[in-house]
Structure 1
Amino acid sequence: MTDHTSNRGRWSGLSTRAIHLGYDPASEQGALTPPVFMTSTYAFETAEDGAALFRGEKEGYIYGRTKNPTQSVLEARIADLEGAEAGLAVASGMAAISATLWTLLSAGDLVVIDHTLYGNSYALFTRGLTRFGIRVEVADFTDPDDLARALALRPALVHFETPANPNLRVIDIAAVSAQAHAAGALVMVDNTFATPVLQRPIEHGADLVVHSATKFLGGHGDLIAGVVVGAKAIIDRIRGHGLRYLTGATIAPLTAFLLLRGLKTLELRVERHSASAAAIAALLADHPAVRRVDYPGLPGSPGHDIARRQMSGFGGLVSCELDGGLEAGIRFMNRLVLATRAVSLGDAETLVQHPASMTHATYSAEERARHGIGDGLIRLSIGLENLPDIREDILQALDAVTQTRGAVKSPLQEVRP
């Protein structure tokens, strides 16, 4: 297998690098696609050779839990796309976050998080870390004064998502990074929603970037994986500690292969997702069943100006609050025919979910209300279907909500037509 940093810097195009970087077919008997190395361990030429690998004096492979040649090509490509020195691929997005936290934090350390995170991330920080003596402070990262209050406590690390799950709040990466660094903290950004096609947080001052690679990076709903990228010294520590013995969350070689395949079409897919999502956001904004639309690309929406500065497009996620709360949300979801009721995102299929009862059920009702996650909030991951078909399905479901508003019968009693 070739040197996985080869070709770095030779090409400027994102898709070109996603397709070619870090692999030379000549190194593998002309195989156009990087092979899947289905092996758990690796042979050493001599005892001295093995000892040098264990001491870290030479690069190579020892055991499949920490590194595999297929995985190495993937890590080189995603790190390059994000503008990072190095990357680590693991078994899930939650594994990427947890392996990083267990590596970098110790009992007594403080972490500051934004108040709106993916539900399981929020649970990891507020219910998981705190069991082991790590303190967690929640702040509103869109409020400089509240962020300053939290940073005055001198955290070791700050973590946030932008756009955030599920209501697409936009956070100023450069401003938060500058404040956090002044307080001596590392900055970790979850870039799952934007992908490196639209946003590269390291260019705006972040130290680490994590992804649920299950989503847009994979793009086909057929794998679970995560990645973390950043400075090589930090990534090496996470591989050697957070992955090797703290979590053991190894990515399977075949999953790494599928992710490499997904990266080849990432730019094309994200462009299509984004164009369709912008059209659906406009449709939602004009419909009487919708109380509020959250989409960074809508002029006048909160965070729109920041998004224009740090993003080259606005992504494939749209959320909206339906007038009528829980019943309206359930009625809308049950009327969908083309779109699929499911909790993931970034797939070829349009996926719709209800955060209050699904991804953010780990929040209390009070926390959801405080963080802008209403009972009628719907999150739509706009897929790659033809836009007229997506529009027709969403419009008929919205019309059904409007026509039946105020009806006594609960939509929970209805059966999908």
Structure 2
Amino acid sequence: MKIKTHILAPLMLTLFLAGCQGGTVNDLVPNGANTQLPAKLVQSMKTKGMTATSPIMFRIFKEENVLEVWKRKDNGRYDIVTSYQICKWSGKLGPKFIEGDRQAPEGYYAVRPAHMNPKSSYYLSFNTGFPNALDRALGRTGANLMVHGACSSSGCYSMTDGQVAQIYAFARDAFKGGQESIQLQAYPFRMTAANMARYKDDPNYAFWKNLKEGYDHFEITKVPPKVDVCEKKYVFNHTSDPNAPIAATSTCPPSDQPESLKMAYQSYQTNYESAFSSMVGKGKIQAPARSIQGLTEAKIIAEWSQRRARGERVTQEPPSLSPQDADAANKPQIMVRLASAVAADKAKEEREASKRSRMHTPAVAATPVPQQTPAPAPMTTAAIAAPEAAAPVAAPAPAKKAWWKIGGN
């Protein structure tokens, strides 16, 4: 049967555009990008006064391994819809500093429609939006930091495929409803008085206190805060004038927060300070988790990542600094210890390889070579009288250095 080209061409063009631009031809969208939310979850949203396409917000807590989905109700305030256990996140508590440090970011990010990736190698994904204005002002680097499936992470927040399909659906439907960007709040832990007291001596504490300001604004209002950056820090609900941009490295302009918000925030802080003081020095508090010890450790891990990517022998796990190392004045000594650890691992591996090689090499019996014993020379009177003056015995030849130790290892 002959197909008319004037009919086929428009159809092929439609399919091509849909595939390249994320059109409405559902059959061309791979993986679970068209997954619908469970009926039970949809009914729960309706009960709370939410629609399928109403705006959403994400909150991530590293230490608790939780990703929360919040959605706007018909009264304008947000309520939690559901939460998911994070399958795996990379690095330690603390922000991302530089490319290769394996840190999952912390801070306030904007997820936009262009960040959605239905063709991800990790089932489905969306970009967190790192680096944001604060990251750039602080010189922090990195790219392609995602929330994705496949439960595998190197600087990302990884979910199971089933989880990310639902999370993706929440974002997809919100964008369909007209939401231009989704706020993603990433925290090291729930910013309670007890947790802040646990981490009061951590090198990241000042940064976390800044994050807590936005956390508190949301706890008070149940509305995602307006986030700006000035003086290389976050400021929240600082100005309501969209025509008055705030420069990330410039002096913060005067705040014009509503008086009601100022009073509510001050009351909240008064209660918090009282709770925080009661927790400091209190026994039986959960020990803090490991955190990245600043830019020094980030650089060491980034170097480890680069060497690993080049195929060089490195330790199985990324190097890690203790607080004592991070505070040490002589940083080169830290690098020497890390290099020694790598060298020790390499030497051990080569010794084991040599041992395995010898075990699998058949022994060859040596043929004995007959030796003639020379006739003894006649002894002189001088030799008898002074045996120490006789010809010296040749020193044995030095043992050969094992091959696996050659080269300074």
**The TM-score by the shorter chain falls in which range?**
under 0.3
Write 1 or 2 for the structure with the bigger share of helix: 1
TM-score (ref. length: structure 2): 0.25
TM-score (ref. length: structure 1): 0.25
Indicate the structure whose relative CO is greater, using CA pairs within 8 Å and at least 6 residues apart.
Answer: 1
